[in-house]
Amino acid sequence: MAPLLEIKDLHAEIAGGRKIINGMNLTINPGEVHAIMGPNGAGKSTLSYVLSGKPGYEITGGEVIFRGVNLLDLSPDERAAQGLFLCFQYPLEIPGVSNMAFLHTAVNSQRKKRGEVELTSPELVRKVRELGKTLGIDADMLKRPVNVGFSGGEKKRNETLQMMLLEPYFCVLDEADSGLDIDALKVVSNGVNALRSPERSMLVITHYQRLLDYIVPDVVHVFNAGRIVHTGGKELALELEATGYAQYQSEAA
Protein backbone atom coordinates (compact mmCIF):
# COMPACT_ATOMS: atom_id res chain seq x y z
CA MET A 1 0.00 0.00 0.00
CA ALA A 2 1.39 3.40 -0.98
CA PRO A 3 1.58 5.91 1.85
CA LEU A 4 -0.88 8.80 1.72
CA LEU A 5 1.67 11.30 2.96
CA GLU A 6 5.43 11.18 3.18
CA ILE A 7 7.45 13.95 4.77
CA LYS A 8 11.11 13.50 3.86
CA ASP A 9 13.91 15.39 5.60
CA LEU A 10 11.86 18.58 5.76
CA HIS A 11 13.61 21.80 6.77
CA ALA A 12 11.79 25.13 7.12
CA GLU A 13 12.51 28.59 8.47
CA ILE A 14 10.33 31.55 9.23
CA ALA A 15 11.04 34.67 7.23
CA GLY A 16 14.04 36.17 8.98
CA GLY A 17 16.00 32.96 9.12
CA ARG A 18 15.03 31.13 12.35
CA LYS A 19 14.95 27.37 11.77
CA ILE A 20 11.69 25.80 12.93
CA ILE A 21 11.43 22.45 11.14
CA ASN A 22 14.70 20.65 11.28
CA GLY A 23 14.99 17.43 9.28
CA MET A 24 11.56 15.96 9.86
CA ASN A 25 10.51 12.55 8.54
CA LEU A 26 7.01 11.09 8.76
CA THR A 27 5.03 8.52 6.79
CA ILE A 28 1.26 8.23 7.12
CA ASN A 29 -0.69 5.43 5.46
CA PRO A 30 -4.30 5.71 4.30
CA GLY A 31 -6.76 5.37 7.18
CA GLU A 32 -4.23 6.10 9.93
CA VAL A 33 -4.64 8.70 12.61
CA HIS A 34 -1.36 10.08 13.89
CA ALA A 35 -0.94 12.39 16.84
CA ILE A 36 1.91 14.82 17.21
CA MET A 37 2.55 15.94 20.75
CA GLY A 38 5.19 18.25 22.03
CA PRO A 39 5.93 21.20 24.26
CA ASN A 40 5.09 24.80 23.38
CA GLY A 41 7.49 26.18 20.82
CA ALA A 42 8.43 22.77 19.40
CA GLY A 43 7.27 23.85 15.94
CA LYS A 44 3.96 21.95 15.87
CA SER A 45 1.85 24.79 14.51
CA THR A 46 4.57 25.73 12.04
CA LEU A 47 4.38 22.17 10.73
CA SER A 48 0.65 22.62 10.06
CA TYR A 49 1.28 25.92 8.27
CA VAL A 50 4.14 24.55 6.18
CA LEU A 51 1.96 21.61 5.12
CA SER A 52 -0.93 23.91 4.14
CA GLY A 53 1.27 26.51 2.42
CA LYS A 54 0.89 29.60 4.58
CA PRO A 55 3.06 32.47 3.31
CA GLY A 56 5.93 33.59 5.54
CA TYR A 57 7.80 30.27 5.77
CA GLU A 58 10.73 29.25 3.66
CA ILE A 59 11.29 25.61 2.85
CA THR A 60 15.06 25.08 2.88
CA GLY A 61 15.09 21.36 2.22
CA GLY A 62 13.14 18.15 1.79
CA GLU A 63 9.83 17.27 0.23
CA VAL A 64 6.27 16.37 1.16
CA ILE A 65 4.71 13.79 -1.13
CA PHE A 66 0.92 13.69 -0.85
CA ARG A 67 -1.12 11.44 -3.13
CA GLY A 68 1.72 11.31 -5.61
CA VAL A 69 2.60 15.01 -5.84
CA ASN A 70 5.03 17.24 -3.98
CA LEU A 71 2.75 19.43 -1.89
CA LEU A 72 5.43 22.07 -1.58
CA ASP A 73 5.05 22.90 -5.29
CA LEU A 74 1.37 23.79 -4.86
CA SER A 75 -0.41 26.95 -3.72
CA PRO A 76 -2.64 26.63 -0.62
CA ASP A 77 -5.82 26.37 -2.70
CA GLU A 78 -4.30 23.67 -4.91
CA ARG A 79 -3.27 21.71 -1.80
CA ALA A 80 -6.85 21.94 -0.56
CA ALA A 81 -8.21 20.71 -3.89
CA GLN A 82 -5.70 17.84 -3.72
CA GLY A 83 -7.41 16.82 -0.48
CA LEU A 84 -5.56 18.51 2.36
CA PHE A 85 -7.55 20.19 5.11
CA LEU A 86 -6.13 22.27 7.93
CA CYS A 87 -8.45 22.67 10.89
CA PHE A 88 -7.30 26.03 12.30
CA GLN A 89 -6.40 26.47 15.94
CA TYR A 90 -7.94 29.94 15.80
CA PRO A 91 -10.43 30.13 12.89
CA LEU A 92 -10.57 33.62 11.41
CA GLU A 93 -13.56 35.93 11.31
CA ILE A 94 -14.56 37.16 7.85
CA PRO A 95 -16.92 40.16 8.08
CA GLY A 96 -19.29 40.59 5.16
CA VAL A 97 -18.94 37.06 3.77
CA SER A 98 -21.83 34.81 4.72
CA ASN A 99 -21.01 31.35 5.96
CA MET A 100 -23.14 29.71 3.27
CA ALA A 101 -21.57 31.77 0.45
CA PHE A 102 -18.12 30.89 1.80
CA LEU A 103 -18.91 27.16 1.91
CA HIS A 104 -20.42 27.29 -1.57
CA THR A 105 -17.37 29.04 -3.02
CA ALA A 106 -14.99 26.66 -1.26
CA VAL A 107 -16.76 23.48 -2.38
CA ASN A 108 -17.14 24.60 -5.97
CA SER A 109 -13.61 26.01 -6.25
CA GLN A 110 -12.29 22.59 -5.28
CA ARG A 111 -14.67 20.71 -7.56
CA LYS A 112 -13.79 23.00 -10.46
CA LYS A 113 -10.09 22.46 -9.86
CA ARG A 114 -10.60 18.68 -9.87
CA GLY A 115 -12.73 18.83 -13.01
CA GLU A 116 -15.88 17.75 -11.17
CA VAL A 117 -19.40 19.07 -11.69
CA GLU A 118 -20.09 22.08 -9.45
CA LEU A 119 -22.89 21.88 -6.90
CA THR A 120 -25.99 24.01 -7.41
CA SER A 121 -27.13 26.26 -4.63
CA PRO A 122 -30.05 24.04 -3.54
CA GLU A 123 -27.82 20.93 -3.57
CA LEU A 124 -25.25 22.64 -1.40
CA VAL A 125 -27.75 24.18 0.98
CA ARG A 126 -29.38 20.78 1.55
CA LYS A 127 -26.04 19.12 2.22
CA VAL A 128 -24.82 21.88 4.54
CA ARG A 129 -28.06 21.83 6.52
CA GLU A 130 -27.89 18.06 7.00
CA LEU A 131 -24.29 18.18 8.21
CA GLY A 132 -25.03 21.27 10.29
CA LYS A 133 -27.73 19.36 12.17
CA THR A 134 -25.26 16.75 13.39
CA LEU A 135 -23.02 19.55 14.71
CA GLY A 136 -25.72 21.76 16.20
CA ILE A 137 -25.17 24.47 13.57
CA ASP A 138 -28.48 26.19 12.81
CA ALA A 139 -29.68 28.16 9.79
CA ASP A 140 -28.87 31.44 11.51
CA MET A 141 -25.19 30.52 11.93
CA LEU A 142 -25.07 29.69 8.23
CA LYS A 143 -26.49 33.07 7.26
CA ARG A 144 -24.13 35.05 9.48
CA PRO A 145 -20.70 36.21 8.32
CA VAL A 146 -18.07 33.48 8.72
CA ASN A 147 -17.17 33.09 12.40
CA VAL A 148 -18.11 36.69 13.24
CA GLY A 149 -19.40 36.78 16.79
CA PHE A 150 -19.14 32.98 17.07
CA SER A 151 -18.04 31.54 20.41
CA GLY A 152 -14.88 29.42 20.53
CA GLY A 153 -17.00 26.29 20.39
CA GLU A 154 -19.09 27.56 17.48
CA LYS A 155 -15.94 28.37 15.52
CA LYS A 156 -14.59 24.84 16.01
CA ARG A 157 -17.93 23.31 15.07
CA ASN A 158 -17.85 25.47 11.96
CA GLU A 159 -14.36 24.15 11.15
CA THR A 160 -15.67 20.62 11.56
CA LEU A 161 -18.58 21.40 9.26
CA GLN A 162 -16.18 22.59 6.57
CA MET A 163 -14.10 19.46 7.00
CA MET A 164 -17.14 17.19 6.68
CA LEU A 165 -18.41 19.10 3.66
CA LEU A 166 -15.08 19.19 1.80
CA GLU A 167 -14.35 15.48 2.44
CA PRO A 168 -10.56 15.77 2.36
CA TYR A 169 -8.16 12.82 2.19
CA PHE A 170 -5.98 14.23 4.91
CA CYS A 171 -6.91 16.41 7.86
CA VAL A 172 -4.46 18.34 9.99
CA LEU A 173 -6.09 19.30 13.27
CA ASP A 174 -4.07 22.03 14.93
CA GLU A 175 -4.87 22.13 18.65
CA ALA A 176 -8.46 21.24 17.80
CA ASP A 177 -9.42 21.36 21.48
CA SER A 178 -8.26 24.88 22.29
CA GLY A 179 -11.15 27.06 23.36
CA LEU A 180 -13.50 24.11 23.78
CA ASP A 181 -15.46 23.02 26.83
CA ILE A 182 -16.11 19.33 27.33
CA ASP A 183 -19.48 19.34 25.55
CA ALA A 184 -18.11 21.14 22.50
CA LEU A 185 -15.09 18.86 22.51
CA LYS A 186 -17.43 15.85 22.27
CA VAL A 187 -19.40 17.37 19.38
CA VAL A 188 -16.23 18.18 17.45
CA SER A 189 -14.64 14.79 18.19
CA ASN A 190 -17.78 12.98 17.07
CA GLY A 191 -17.65 14.93 13.82
CA VAL A 192 -14.00 14.07 13.31
CA ASN A 193 -14.53 10.41 14.21
CA ALA A 194 -17.42 10.18 11.76
CA LEU A 195 -14.92 11.11 9.06
CA ARG A 196 -12.52 8.28 9.88
CA SER A 197 -12.37 5.87 6.97
CA PRO A 198 -9.91 3.50 5.32
CA GLU A 199 -9.02 6.16 2.74
CA ARG A 200 -8.77 9.16 5.03
CA SER A 201 -5.89 9.97 7.35
CA MET A 202 -5.44 12.52 10.08
CA LEU A 203 -2.70 14.32 11.89
CA VAL A 204 -3.80 15.53 15.29
CA ILE A 205 -1.54 18.18 16.75
CA THR A 206 -1.96 18.75 20.45
CA HIS A 207 -0.01 19.29 23.62
CA TYR A 208 -2.61 17.75 25.90
CA GLN A 209 -3.51 14.12 26.07
CA ARG A 210 -7.18 14.95 26.75
CA LEU A 211 -8.14 15.32 23.09
CA LEU A 212 -6.73 11.86 22.35
CA ASP A 213 -9.31 10.32 24.70
CA TYR A 214 -11.88 11.37 22.12
CA ILE A 215 -9.93 11.06 18.90
CA VAL A 216 -7.94 7.90 19.53
CA PRO A 217 -4.75 7.80 17.42
CA ASP A 218 -3.02 4.79 15.88
CA VAL A 219 0.41 6.32 16.29
CA VAL A 220 1.76 8.98 18.65
CA HIS A 221 4.87 11.03 17.91
CA VAL A 222 6.80 13.27 20.23
CA PHE A 223 7.86 16.41 18.40
CA ASN A 224 10.65 18.63 19.64
CA ALA A 225 13.06 21.16 18.14
CA GLY A 226 11.50 20.74 14.71
CA ARG A 227 11.59 16.98 14.33
CA ILE A 228 10.07 13.76 15.58
CA VAL A 229 12.16 12.48 18.49
CA HIS A 230 10.10 9.50 19.61
CA THR A 231 7.28 7.36 18.24
CA GLY A 232 4.93 4.94 19.98
CA GLY A 233 1.38 3.64 20.16
CA LYS A 234 -1.61 5.38 21.69
CA GLU A 235 -0.37 4.51 25.20
CA LEU A 236 2.55 6.92 24.66
CA ALA A 237 0.12 9.81 25.10
CA LEU A 238 -0.70 8.61 28.63
CA GLU A 239 2.98 8.19 29.50
CA LEU A 240 3.65 11.74 28.37
CA GLU A 241 0.81 12.99 30.52
CA ALA A 242 2.58 11.45 33.51
CA THR A 243 6.21 12.19 32.74
CA GLY A 244 6.06 15.40 30.68
CA TYR A 245 8.34 16.24 27.77
CA ALA A 246 11.55 16.89 29.71
CA GLN A 247 13.32 13.64 28.80
CA TYR A 248 12.70 14.21 25.08
CA GLN A 249 13.84 17.79 25.27
CA SER A 250 17.23 16.71 26.65
CA GLU A 251 17.36 13.91 24.10
CA ALA A 252 16.95 16.42 21.32
CA ALA A 253 19.45 18.89 22.66
Residue numbers of the site for other proteins (CB under 8 A)?
52-55, 75-77, 79-81, 85-86, 88, 91-92, 94-97, 101-102, 105-107, 109-110, 113, 145, 162, 166
Q: Pick between residue 167 and residue 239 the one whose CB is nearest to other proteins.
A: 167
Smallest distance, other proteins to C-beta of residue 67, A: 15
Nearer to other proteins, 106 or 125 (CB): 106
Nearer to other proteins among residue 52 and residue 134 (C-beta): 52
Segments in 6-146 forming alpha helices (H): 44-52, 76-82, 99-113, 121-135, 139-143
Quickly count: other Cβ atoms within 10 Å of residue 135's Cβ.
Answer: 21
Angle, CA 133 vertex, CA 112 and CA 128 arms, to 5°: 15
222 Cβ contact list (under 8 Å, min separation 6): 37, 38, 228, 229, 230, 231, 236, 240, 245, 248
Distance in Å, CB of 238 to other proteins, minimum = 32
Instruction: Give least dist CB 94 to other proteins, A.
Output: 6
Nearer to other proteins, 1 or 92 (CB): 92
Q: How far is the CB of 31 from other proteins (least distance, A)?
A: 23
